[in-house]
Amino acid sequence: MLTLDLTNEPRWHDLVPGVRVQLRPLTTALMVATRSDPAVEEVPGKASDEERAVAFAKALARRAVLSWEGIGDADGNAIDPSPDAIDALLDIWPIFEAFQLTYVSKGLLLENEKNVSASLPSGPSAGASATAKRAKRPAKTARRG
């Protein structure tokens, strides 16, 4: 069953110990806007899937991040999210992976769920018999005693 969150409120996501970000809900509007982001559209056609994924994740994060905790400058002073700071944050591999797993993949998992269906007892495969022939076992020979 699909559970709808009708509040559509931003949520906090822990990315690594001591670092968390407040993100907008991953909505259709947010995904469509990200797909048409100039940084995503300017990725060369010959770019690898990985390069596309990074460009898309950064564009999405620039739209989704509202606030964060545990992120500072080189002197240890807390900084607010900005496009450059968000891009720099996602350049850190564990942060990028956590962002993909805790935020982006939830939308992709839902996309995959709608494309997979299990056989139902009342479906077209109900009552179907196996058509593959089973290999015959060698006949047992009587033991001589």
**In the chain, helix, strand, coil percent, each to 5?**
40, 10, 50
pLDDT value of residue 115: 47
Contact 37, 30 (CB under 8 A): no
pLDDT tens digits, 120-137 = 444 444 444 444 444 555
Band (83; pLDDT cuts 50, 70, 90): very high
- CA–CA gap between residue 57 and residue 100 (Å, rounded): 8
Domain limits, the chain: 11-113
Lookup: tokens for 3: 């559970």
Cα dihedral 32, 38, 42, 48 sign: negative
Cα–Cα distance list, 91 to 8, 57, 61, 63, 102 (Å)? 28, 10, 12, 17, 17
Q: How confident is the model at residue 105 (pLDDT cuts 50, 70, 90)?
A: confident
Contact (Cβ atoms closer than 8 angstroms) between residue 31 and residue 107: yes
What is the model's pTM?
0.71
HEC assignment per residue over 20-65 = EEEECCCCHHHHHHHHCCHHHHCCCCCCCHHHHHHHHHHHHHHHHE
Reported as type and span, the H/E element at residue 83 is helix 83-90
